[in-house]
Structure 1
Amino acid sequence: MDFIWILFAFVCGLAAKSGSLPPSIGYLAAGFILNFIGYQADDTLSKLSDLGITLMLFTIGLKLNVKSLLKPEVWLGCSLHTTLWIVIAITSIKLFAFIGFNYFASLDFQTALLIAFALSFSSTVCVVKLLEENGEMRTRHGRLAVGILVIQDIFAVVFLVAATGKIPSIWAFALLLLFFVKPLINKIINYVGHGELIPLTGFFLALGSYELFELVNIKGDLGALLIGMFLANHIKATELNKALMSFKDLFLIGFFLSIGFTAKPTLEMLGLAMMFMLLVPIKFALFFALFSLLKLRCRTSFLSALALSNFSEFGLIVASLSVTAGWLSNEWLVILALTVAISFIITNVIYSHAHTTFGKYRHLLSRFERSEKLSEDSFSQPCQRPIVIIGMGRVGMGAYNAINAHESQHAWGLDADKDKINWLTREGTQAYYGDAEDIHFWESIDLSKIKLVLLALPSVQDSLSITQQLKAANYQGQIAAVARYDDERKTLEDFGINKVFNFYNEAGVGFAEESLAMLKNKELAS
């Protein structure tokens, strides 16, 4: 039966990709199809799902700055949204009951409150997958969305403690001793090197933290997230994250399949789930309005709100607890499962056009932007150098150093990772913080003085999006990019990028040139 899951997941994932949709939508469909034709989920699928979620939360922690959670736009934005959403959702449920829908008519206030609270959450799995697939985890709006999700996870832990009566044991205070163990953990991570022990170390830390927190009656997933945050400043945090990425994606297939196995839906249940979809635009509008009130730029507000406009798998946990307690009928578990699944599909489809949509309606959306902006959202005018390098990773830094080694050429770097820019600035690199996919950024600088833009980015989609924004801003200079594969190279060239370098070929050329130069210098010296 395990092979049947893999077969259906592969076929449906491939079909989704062929339709320009994320494979996760195909996995959702595979779960419902398998359930419909009579297959049953077992503990293996549940364990895969749990493992995927644990690894995902651990990797989120590795990329998360704790200070970002203390920003008003994160904790206050999340708190206000949850409160307002519950009021609106309860009102909507009572309205549905008044209209005469049977399932809603039997709900009392307490049950309606539970459903409203469950639907207030956005899906951590859906949002993180969405941001990772678009290469936006470290952007301003990506960090904001992840911060909101973390605060929601804290709310979830508080709810589960209250609902289950499972309070942390007195030994939970012993977790503070982890601060004294951190130097030892850092040494272990450094010692394991860069081979097969790296992913195993990641598994050990993620699952070990899960079990450790469960021992003291604290939600294990929260433990994985917190330990990830605990190690976020380690020099090998990025390497750990990359080593776990494929494992996490593979195990999360189990999560998407498991939603379809929740129960068999009827047409009436599907209709009720579609009714809940009417609340998705309200969820978006609430997030957008609150982010705008908290002085965020309209693009950040728009993209963050759009990513968060879905319902969470946590709703299924609330529904399951409520069914066990006798507060909800079994049918509600199916309705909420359908609601969550459909919201995933809607978010993925709409977000794939997010940047294009914002570009089309940005003048309208900018009306909601406050004149007073946060300091983090205020762009610094870059120094007037003719070459811009977008993406200050290893490739970008290599290009920066090579170009600035020539006296006649000067380059500056641009990256959407604030922490990276702060570090590079301290090291003396001329690098600036900004999102190159934001047309407002390009309109705020003098493009006539820029002769060449280098796109040192791993994502082809990001390179295409930035090129589109440059053209929209009437950039007249040259654009160069890197690609890993020949099909990616052709895609970039067909889009109008002037020069595309194959990453692996150029590494070989550079290696050969440097080696020959070394040999020539030795011959001249002799």
Structure 2
Amino acid sequence: MNTMDYIVILVAAACSGFIFQLVKLPPLLGFLVAGFVLHLLGIHQAPVIDTIANLGVTLLLFSIGLKLDVRTLLRREVYGTAFLHLIFNGMLFLAIFSVFKWLSITQLKVLSNEALMLLAFALSFSSTVFAVKVLQDKSELQSLYGRVAIGILVMQDLFAVIYLSASSGKIPSLWALSLLTLIPLRPLLLRLLNRAGHGEVQLLVGFCMAFVVGYAWFDSVHIKPDLGALLIGMLLAGTPQANNLGRDLFAFKELFLVAFFLSIGMHYFPTMESLFIAILITLLVPLKAALYLLLMLVFRLRARTAWMGTLSLANYSEFGLIVSAIAVQSNILDGSWLAILAIALSLSFIISAPLNQKADHIYRRVQNRLCRLQRNRLHLDDLPIELGNMEIVILGMGRIGSGAYELMSQHYPGKVIGIDTDLTKVQSHMEANRVVIQGDATDSDFWEKLVLSKSVKLVLLTMPHHNGNEYAVTQLHRRDYAGEIAAICRFEDDEDALKELGVNHVVNLYEEAGLGFAQHIYDAVNWTDGKR
């Protein structure tokens, strides 16, 4: 490989990803296609790309660990759906593949029972990358269905990591006991991450924790190094430092995964026979989705919550490719199966992407039929949100929202309610005897459940992000709210935008802060006639 070859790889990946993004399809599909094109051009291997691809898998596991909330995984609708779906989907797909083998369908007829079981296992996973991207684009990561979907995906990732660890074939050494010291080392690691501040130093420290503390240490004691990256991420999870690091690592993780999809396309070019099998596998996605839907309904989620969660999971996973890659290395599967599964993954994304964009529209058309499957007794987090006889609603209970709550409560005692997404913050307010409930006003699911009574006269929008306040105003108008709306903003153009949407009162924080600051200083120094 020379420099010009890498330039060709870079241009092919950029152009293909850009084209796919223009047509509103996941760019990862474009990178896979770029790999196929490079294969046709005679570029079959690129050592640097293969190395980056391996790093991308490790970084993906580390970032999953950083956002892992163990409390979410312990919810029945999460671990129950994940585990039962893995079992039922695996059994269903194994039965279908066995029939295909009995019918002597192409490459399936030569597979062993072990290979069929591994294929069924790999195709049980859904894509973490795809689901996170879809939920972020719709600002619904914190919705109930978003949290459930991500929890299920993390559980699936854990199942995959357990398999990857078991498949390494290595017996841990006695030095593996040294990993127990990671627990008392956690405060030191967090302090180190905190002292690194923000920006490039924090990123470098994060890379060291993933690849040195996680990958290298676990590998040195003969434990799957990717598992080490996941566990180190979990060790740091639930802290502000981990949240910041996770956001900063996101772009790097995406970039490294580009290399993973490129390398698959470059190494394994599909034949017509492979394409036929990939289409057959893609046709099984509705069965996989139906299982998700039924299981979520069994765990008492609303029909809409189950529907939205199902669509975000109705695809195959890049983790399935990683599992299959291990099977290829172990000679359980032929290398051509990586191309087959990569095409099936791509086709599932192509189908799932437009469905998620039109999810609400499709739901309204099937709502009556789905609601008949809904349990009578719903999940506690999925019940209608009733405000009772409250007259003032505050969306966003940060410092500004809390101050507004205190002032309004003095004038309207017992008639003020606050709503915030952060459960910890909600619990803190409740301990201070404030009426505050959990809810995300940037989530369409919140507005679907909200019962907005006629007693509400004023809604205060004190959320930190302008887009969130804009979205809340739009939803209030859709629900024919006729009372007053007040909102905060930081910039003049945001103020104009809110007024155009029909907000009655807009307060520019910077202007008000400047006036308040000047007044406070003026009162403090007590100037009279220009003299102190």
Relative to the length of structure 2, the TM-score reads 0.84
Deviations 1:216-255 (A, max 9, x none): 3333333233222222233433333333333333333333
**Cross-structure match for 1:141:** 145
Q: How many matched pairs?
A: 518
**Cross-structure match for 1:125:** 129
Give the Å deviation of 1:275: 1.4
Answer yes or no: is 1:266 the counterpart of 2:271: yes
Query: Which segment drifts farther, 473-482 or 157-166?
Result: 473-482
Give the Å deviation of 1:327: 3.7
**Cross-structure match for 2:70:** 66
Counterpart CA distance in 2 for 1:160 and 1:366 is 40
Counterpart CA distance in 1 for 2:114 and 2:192 is 50
Match of 1:438, SS state, is helix
- Which one-letter code corresponds to 1:451 in the other structure? L
- Which one-letter code corresponds to 1:449 in the other structure? V
Q: Residue 43 of structure 2 is aligned with which of 39, 44, 62? A: 39
Residues 13 and 27 in structure 1, CA contact (< 8 A), matched pair in contact too? yes
**Cross-structure match for 2:357:** 352
Residues 391 and 457 in structure 2, CA contact (< 8 A), matched pair in contact too? yes
**Cross-structure match for 1:438:** 445
Query: Which segment drifts farther, 181-190 or 15-24?
Result: 15-24
Q: Residue 217 of structure 1 is aligned with which of 216, 222, 241? A: 222
**Cross-structure match for 2:463:** 456
Answer yes or no: is 1:178 the counterpart of 2:182: yes
Counterpart CA distance in 2 for 1:490 and 1:106 is 67
**Cross-structure match for 2:516:** 514
Answer yes or no: is 1:331 the counterpart of 2:336: yes
Deviations 1:254-281 (A, max 9, x none): 3343343341122332222111111111
- Which one-letter code corresponds to 2:514 in the other structure? A
The equivalences for 1:25-174 within 5 A come to 25-99=29-103, 101-174=105-178
Check 1:281–1:499 CA distance in 2 against 1; reply closer, same or farther (3 A cut).
farther
Check 1:443–1:48 CA distance in 2 against 1; reply closer, same or farther (3 A cut).
same
Give the Å deviation of 1:84: 0.9
Query: Which segment drifts farther, 302-311 or 271-280?
Result: 302-311
Deviations 1:333-357 (A, max 9, x none): 2211211222233333322222443
Answer yes or no: is 1:303 the counterpart of 2:305: no
Deviations 1:292-329 (A, max 9, x none): 11222223322222222221223333433444444433
Match of 1:217, SS state, is coil
Residues 118 and 314 in structure 1, CA contact (< 8 A), matched pair in contact too? yes
Counterpart CA distance in 1 for 2:240 and 2:437 is 21
Residues 438 and 469 in structure 1, CA contact (< 8 A), matched pair in contact too? no
Counterpart CA distance in 1 for 2:114 and 2:190 is 47
- Which one-letter code corresponds to 1:286 in the other structure? L
Match of 1:236, SS state, is helix
Deviations 1:356-406 (A, max 9, x none): 4334433332222212233333456447554544455xxx54344356446
- Which one-letter code corresponds to 2:437 in the other structure? Y
- Which one-letter code corresponds to 1:272 in the other structure? I
Give the Å deviation of 1:449: 1.1
Query: Which segment drifts farther, 448-457 or 219-228?
Result: 448-457
- Which one-letter code corresponds to 2:459 in the other structure? L
Check 1:343–1:142 CA distance in 2 against 1; reply closer, same or farther (3 A cut).
same
The equivalences for 1:392-411 within 5 A come to 397-402=399-404, 404-405=406-407, 407-408=410-411
Counterpart CA distance in 2 for 1:371 and 1:110 is 42
- Which one-letter code corresponds to 2:266 in the other structure? F
Deviations 1:410-441 (A, max 9, x none): 86443444444334544665432134411665
Counterpart CA distance in 2 for 1:359 and 1:66 is 34
Match of 1:449, SS state, is coil
Give the Å deviation of 1:191: 2.8
Residues 296 and 369 in structure 1, CA contact (< 8 A), matched pair in contact too? yes
Check 1:385–1:224 CA distance in 2 against 1; reply closer, same or farther (3 A cut).
farther
- Which one-letter code corresponds to 1:94 in the other structure? S
Match of 2:372, SS state, is helix
Match of 1:73, SS state, is helix
Counterpart CA distance in 1 for 2:9 and 2:161 is 31
Query: Which segment drifts farther, 289-298 or 255-264?
Result: 255-264
Residues 385 and 412 in structure 1, CA contact (< 8 A), matched pair in contact too? yes
Match of 2:98, SS state, is helix
**Cross-structure match for 2:366:** 361
- Which one-letter code corresponds to 1:509 in the other structure? E
Residues 434 and 441 in structure 1, CA contact (< 8 A), matched pair in contact too? no
**Cross-structure match for 1:190:** 194
Q: Which runs of 5+ in 2 are unaligned?
A: none
- Which one-letter code corresponds to 1:454 in the other structure? L
- Which one-letter code corresponds to 1:521 in the other structure? D
Check 1:511–1:226 CA distance in 2 against 1; reply closer, same or farther (3 A cut).
same
Deviations 1:96-129 (A, max 9, x none): 3455522223334332222111111222333333
Counterpart CA distance in 2 for 1:221 and 1:389 is 44
- Which one-letter code corresponds to 2:124 in the other structure? S
Residues 55 and 224 in structure 1, CA contact (< 8 A), matched pair in contact too? yes
Q: Which runs of 5+ in 1 are unaligned?
A: none
**Cross-structure match for 1:201:** 205
Q: Residue 16 of structure 2 is aligned with which of 12, 18, 24? A: 12
Counterpart CA distance in 2 for 1:13 and 1:488 is 33
Relative to the length of structure 1, the TM-score reads 0.84
Match of 2:419, SS state, is strand
Match of 1:141, SS state, is helix
Counterpart CA distance in 1 for 2:487 and 2:258 is 32
Q: Which has the larger radius of gyration?
A: 2
